[in-house]
Amino acid sequence: MPSSVNGDSGSDDERKPTEHEETVLGKRSLGASALTAEPLAKRANVLEGKALRHSPKDEEREEEGREREREPLSRKVRAAVSRLARTMYDKAGMKPDETSLSYLDGDDEEFWSSLGIEYDVGDMYEQMEKAGGVRLRSTGDPFITKLVIGCGNHPYEYKAMGEDSKHAHKDAYTVDKSVSMSPTVLGAFGYTNLAPLFLPGVFEQIIFEGYSPVDSAATLDRQPHLLADLATLLADDGKLALPVGPNQNVRTVVARKKQGRIEVMAVLKGDQPPDMEAAGTEVTEGYLKSLVPNAPG
């Protein structure tokens, strides 16, 4: 089972989008052919360089990353990733996942290769200092418009079970706190400001996989960047599926970014018909807290 990104939920049950969630979110092609001239222009514009975002050297770094995939990672890079993975937990104020971290202590070449690291040590330390997370691979492709939080790309942790291909997420960027999940970005979404590690305003779909990020009001209070980062990353009219509540009683707030704010489209629970009563309501901390208990479930 994937490790919970928030680290606070008492359940290890993996949670996947329901049929209703997929229907409301829409099953859209993420390829270039699905993009019109207008969003293409918008995506070209966001590539203008900003500090932690994507410099003109990104293509060079990606090529260097492909070269690194063909060669064993240096001891220096491995030691840096190991230190940074532990630092990430400290910055997020979370208890380390020692099972995941144990992968960093060995010499399993297949594991290290699965990370596909494209950045040098200096870049990764800068990212950790400013964002509390690490971009293991480039996130600069404006045609990748889906973000999966709580999983990785071909998670190494699933390989032994033969389940990694079911979580390839080849048309998406991924975020997870567990390095063994082979995420694009190693970090605890919501707990630190990870938005600068991605292009802003390009994601047409953001989903959470395997866990409920808001299982209680107390958990939400520990994630000061959750809503702000979601608003930064969503494209205009981009859609979000946000699980809310303890895993045994989870509801999903399906929302859309409209004129700079995130608004509810529907609230889903299991296979029940979508609840449209809150449609148009802004997704705020107060609104989310109205849907959850005060303590972790």
User: Between 75-92 and 121-131, two packed helices, what is the crossing angle to 10 degrees?
Assistant: 0
Residue 10 placed within a domain? no
The C-alpha atoms of residue 15 and residue 248 are separated, in whole angstroms, by: 10
DSSP, residue by residue, 98-145: HHHHGGGGS--HHHHHHH---S-HHHHHHHHHHHSSEESS----TT--
**pLDDT tens, position by position, 187-226:** 999 999 999 999 999 999 999 998 999 999 999 999 999 9
**pLDDT tens, position by position, 108-126:** 899 999 999 999 999 999 9
Find the domain containing 121 and state its range. Answer: 19-289
Q: Is the pLDDT of residue 13 over 80?
A: no
Residue 129 placed within a domain? yes
Q: Is the pLDDT of residue 256 over 70?
A: yes
Residue 5 placed within a domain? no
Residue 11 placed within a domain? no
209: closest CA among 158, 136, 285, 256? 158
Residue 26 placed within a domain? yes
Prediction pTM value: 0.78
Residue 14 placed within a domain? no
Residue that the structure tokens 């305003």 belong to: 201
Residue 294 placed within a domain? no
The C-alpha atoms of residue 229 and residue 131 are separated, in whole angstroms, by: 11
Helices and strands: H and E segment counts in the chain: 11, 8
**pLDDT tens, position by position, 134-152:** 999 999 999 999 999 999 9
Residue 271 placed within a domain? yes
Domain count, the chain: 1
| 45 CB neighbour count, 10 Å cutoff | 10
| 293 CB neighbour count, 10 Å cutoff | 14
